[in-house]
Amino acid sequence: MSVSASAETLSDDVIDPGRLGLWLFLLSEILLFGGFFASYVMMRWGSPDCRLGTPAWPAPDYGTTLSMAALNTFILITSSYTMVRSVLACEEGRVEAFRRNLWATIGLGAAFLAVKAVEYSLKFGHGYYPGGHFVVEHPGYAIFFSFYFVMTGLHGVHVLVGLIWNGLLLRSRQDPRSPEFARKAEYAGLYWHFVDVVWVFLFPLFYLI
Amino acid sequence: MSAHNSDESFVFGAVFALLLILTAVTIVSARFGMEPLMGVVVAMGVASAKAGLIGIYFMRLRREPVVVWCLVVAGISAVATLAIGILPDMALKLQ
């Protein structure tokens, strides 16, 4: 076997340190959100006011709440699709397609946050927060609303970080056709898809059951 | 575009369609008024399937070496341990 052939074989077997580092970071994120999810499920299971298995939201506002959450699910899944198309285009050296799909991903991510902001404002208007007039009358809901704002807020921060990351990728002066840039695009994609995975679990747990 | 990448583009499109279908399934099934426990099982089952599709295809786990799979399995195992650890408490409250 020639030296170049053996080096090529070796490079196929050895993982890129950047990607390994990112997966380690994602592992820490799995543990962070996993702890929240387990605590939330235990809280809901033992709650007499908002027991797990049926939607916890008060009935008058539930239709609007579910519609907005379903819209955000559609937005985030679509953004994951545009992100993976962007990474693929980058790997193929199709710069225009890469930029177009990345812009679409950023636009969809911003739309997700906009819908979430409207949803939060409606919740505050109804007094659906710890200390709000609804919670004063129904104290059993306080812990549910606390979990709701902490977990969806933490997820929203992750979406914001993803938007900044994608924006930096768009503004990068590095050659988009270079393998190094393609790796950076892949890292941004991995993070963005993870944010989507978290929402995939948040959606049913907070809005459907 | 090479045939390989064209295939990959088609797979991504199919996975996207499947994710939307599964989202519709989970919303419709939640409106059926199932038993609470069954509702939780169905919703979490569909969510796990969606997460699996995103992980395997969009995050390209199928191409990753064993070390990355070990990290993912470690994370899922830790979360499963947390969930299983509170099962006795849940079971007692069911009675």
Average pLDDT over residues A40-48: 86
Q: Is B86 in contact with A41 (CB distance < 8 Å)?
A: yes
Looking at A1-15, A79-93, B53-67, which range is the least confident one?
A: A1-15
The first and second tokens of residue A3, run together, are 């030296």
Q: Is A54 in contact with A206 (CB distance < 8 Å)?
A: no
Q: How far does B39 lie from chain A, in Å, by closest CA?
A: 6
Q: Which of B1, B23, B93 sits opposite A92 (nearest CB)?
A: B1
Report pLDDT digits (tens) over A125-144: 999 998 899 999 988 889 99
The first and second tokens of residue A189, run together, are 């994609």
Residues 6+ apart with CB under 8 A from A21: none
Report pLDDT digits (tens) over A11-41: 455 788 999 999 999 999 999 999 999 999 8
Q: Band of the pLDDT at A3, cuts 50, 70, 90?
A: very low
Query: What is residue B4's predicted lDDT score, i.e. its pLDDT?
Result: 59
Burial class for B18, CB neighbours closer than 10 Å (0-12, 13-18, 19+):
middle
Query: What is residue A11's predicted lDDT score, i.e. its pLDDT?
Result: 45
Q: Does B59 sit within 8 Å of A77, measured CB to CB? A: no
Task: Please give the Cα distance from A7 to A166 (Å, whole number).
Answer: 33
Series of mean pLDDT values for 10-residue runs along chain B (95 residues): 71 97 93 83 94 96 92 93 78 59
Q: Which of A27, A55, A77 sits opposite B71 (nearest CB)?
A: A27
* DSSP structural state of residue B57: I
Give the predicted TM-score (pTM) of the model: 0.90
Query: What is residue B91's predicted lDDT score, i.e. its pLDDT?
Result: 65
The first and second tokens of residue A133, run together, are 């007039």
A32 touches chain B (CB under 8 A): no
Average pLDDT of chain A? 90
Query: Any idea what the Cα angle at residue B1 is, between residues A82 and B54, rounded to 5°?
Result: 30
Torsion sign, CA atoms A120, A125, A129, A131: positive
Minimal-distance CA residue of chain B relative to A198? B51
Task: Please give the Cα distance from A113 to B3 (Å, whole number).
Answer: 37
Q: What end-to-end distance do the CA atoms of chain A give, in Å?
A: 59
Task: Please give the Cα distance from A88 to A92 (Å, whole number).
Answer: 6
Minimal-distance CA residue of chain B relative to A93? B1
